[in-house]
Each structure stands twice: as C-alpha cells, then as structure tokens.
C-alpha cells in the first residue's frame, strides 16, 4: 500500500515538473539593453564603446606629455602577462603562478 502511494506521488510530481516554463523573450531583453546602453553613451550609439585596435596608437586616449609608442605597448603586454612578479600568494606553492591577466 505504501509503495503504491509513493509511486503515485512520484508519478504525479514527475508529470507536474515537466510542464513548459514561460521564458521572457531574449530578443526583447537584448533590444532593451542595447537601447539603454546606446542612450548612456556620449554619442548615442553603441559604436562609442568599441575599443580601437592596439596598433592604432593615435585612436587610443593618451597623455600628450607621454605619447604611446609600439615599444611601450609591447612592454605593457609583457608586464601584464608576467608571472615573475607574483610573490604575494596566499600559499607558497602559488608564487609565480599568476599575473595581472589571470
């Protein structure tokens, strides 16, 4: 008797759990997000947030007293990915295993 009652409960809960969920339309949510981001940009367009190419140094904002050069960009990449500075790990085994990029 108990097994039959338990089997009926499991069957009913399985059927009830398999109902189709109503999901909000992702297209509408994406469009709303794009509209809000566009309105918050200085130009009113999403293109405002596209970053310039790393080789287009004139398009990257920079200090006029310290202009960017290809050598400075390469040095920045090297230092950003360098794991040799990672000496403040929580455990000794973690020293030298992380960088700014990780």
Q: What is the mean pLDDT of the chain?
A: 84
Residue 12 or residue 65, greater confidence: 65
Q: What is the pLDDT of residue 88?
A: 77
Q: What is the mean pLDDT of residues 61-75?
A: 92
User: Which of 54, 77, 75, 58 shows the shortest CA–CA distance to 67?
Assistant: 58
Spacing of C-alpha 1 from chain mean position: 54
How far is Cα 18 from Cα 61, in angstroms, rounded to an integer? Answer: 54
Q: What is the mean pLDDT of residues 63-87?
A: 89
Q: What is the pLDDT of residue 23?
A: 66
Q: What is the pLDDT of residue 19?
A: 65
Residue 89 or residue 63, greater confidence: 63
């Amino acid at each position: 008797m108990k097994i039959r009652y338990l089997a009926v409960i499991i069957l009913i809960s399985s059927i009830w759990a398999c109902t189709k969920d109503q999901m909000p339309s992702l297209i509408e949510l994406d469009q709303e997000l794009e509209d809000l981001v566009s309105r918050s940009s200085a130009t009113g367009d999403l293109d405002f947030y596209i970053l310039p190419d790393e080789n287009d140094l004139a398009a990257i904002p920079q200090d006029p007293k310290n202009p960017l050069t290809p050598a400075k960009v390469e040095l920045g990449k090297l230092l950003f990915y360098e794991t040799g500075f990672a000496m403040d790990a929580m455990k000794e085994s973690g020293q030298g295993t992380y960088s700014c990029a990780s």
